[in-house]
Amino acid sequence: MTESVTQAEQELAEDTLVFCMEHMQEHYTICFLAERAGISPTKLKIIFRRVYGAPLFAYIRAEKMRFAAQQLASTNNRVLDIAEACGYDNASKFSAAFRDVIGCSPKEYRQNVRLE
């Protein structure tokens, strides 16, 4: 029962994702993103899920955590600095999100990657 995605929908979802990743340190609402795209919030949520197979903010959160994991593995940046770059001003909320997506704490991840 997969609905086909139009080229316009694909482009709209990709544009939204690119915008979110380029502005990941900022906080924005679904209403803001929908207004930016020129469609209703409900329509944006439907299109994004159809294109990426996940809810918009869940997908963005996972992308942010993958970015954070890459930063933890390849830089000596402090965890708090990486958290802030991903839009988190609270280290414990960032750590909880990281653990949910990646499966361990940022500190554990960095230690494990460095041991490999």
When pLDDT is cut at 50, 70 and 90, the band that residue 114 belongs to is: confident
Distance CA 88, CA 5 (A): 33
As a whole number, the mean pLDDT across the chain is: 94
Note the pLDDT of residue 115: 78
Looking at residues 62-82, what average pLDDT do you find? 96
When pLDDT is cut at 50, 70 and 90, the band that residue 3 belongs to is: low
Looking at residues 94-104, what average pLDDT do you find? 97
Q: How far is CA 73 from CA 22, 88, 91, 100, in A?
A: 20, 19, 18, 18
When pLDDT is cut at 50, 70 and 90, the band that residue 4 belongs to is: confident
Note the pLDDT of residue 87: 95
Name the residue among 68, 96, 69, 63 with its Cα closest to residue 83. 68
